[in-house]
Amino acid sequence: MKILIADDDAMSRRLLERTLEREGYEVTEVDNGCSALEQLSLRDGPRLALLDWMMPKLDGPGVCLAIRRQHDRPYIHIVLVTSRGSKQDIVSGLESGADDYLTKPWDPAELMARLRVGQRILDLQDRLVQASETMRFKATHDPLTSLFNRGVIVDLLARELARTRRENGCTIVMLGDVDRFKSVNDTLGHVVGDEVLREVARRLLKSVRSYDFVGRYGGEEFLIVLNNCESDQAMLRAEEVRNGIAIFPVQTGRGPLPITMSVGVLSSRDWNLALVEEILGEVDLALYRAKADGRDCVRLAKPIVPSGAPQQLVR
């Protein structure tokens, strides 16, 4: 594990370095507080630090205060090392952000025991962060395909449509449905059906840009949100998505399986609709037309305004 030693006394640094290297630590040493802060601010910097209280440029408590103001990197366990031993000094050091306190001359056994405590605390925090991230992922992603779940993808669509309206931009919305998926489950089983859905999800992600959104809308339906696009790209982009599904059979445990997708597509610039539910309703109708027209095709939801008549929607 990486550890930082910050002390302006070269002899003290050398003694600490030899002690810690014998215990397997990867040691970085500096002789002033500014250099200590620089090392601890690095993205892959040390997670353990031994800071002398009195140092040039910036003292140990000053380094602690500066580090605790940073919230964009993993926690650092800091031990202040000093000859000061009064209760007031201990309180002052801990209130500056230090986690522990070691008085000079330090005992090697006590030093290592305190560092092992610091390692246990960091390990516990890392496990808590990982558990929190796992819970967040489970709450926002579909467990089968690892795509965004329905709630999240609809929320992302709503946010993107709001941004598009503010910036007078254009968002392309697609709703795709795997053709004849029920027959896959009925004839080959749900295990194969799951394999198909996972591969469809992978191909959809491959068909869009890294900053577009793809989510499992429900069952074998997938919602795709493309931001910063032009209206005349809607059919082209949807055909790319459809072709990305149909181009190769899906390899399953029961052999290769040809899979196609029907797609309804809509360009937000073509519609003066404020509610995300209205957008979803129109693109769903376009998907229904694609199904009715023989599947494995794309249909565009586009309003028609006859001359001298109120707006009439193509259903």
- Residue 7 is encoded by which pair of tokens? 């002390």
Which one is catalytic: 160, 195, 220, 282? 220
- CB of 93 closer than 8 Å to CB of 72: no
In one-letter notation, the amino acid at residue 247 is I
Give the Cβ contact number of residue 214 at 10 Å.
Answer: 24
Angle 308-234-239 from CA coordinates, rounded to 5°: 130
DSSP 42: S
d(CA 257, CA 270): 37
d(CA 271, CA 229): 15
- CB of 267 closer than 8 Å to CB of 279: no
277 is catalytic: no
> Which residues carry out catalysis?
220
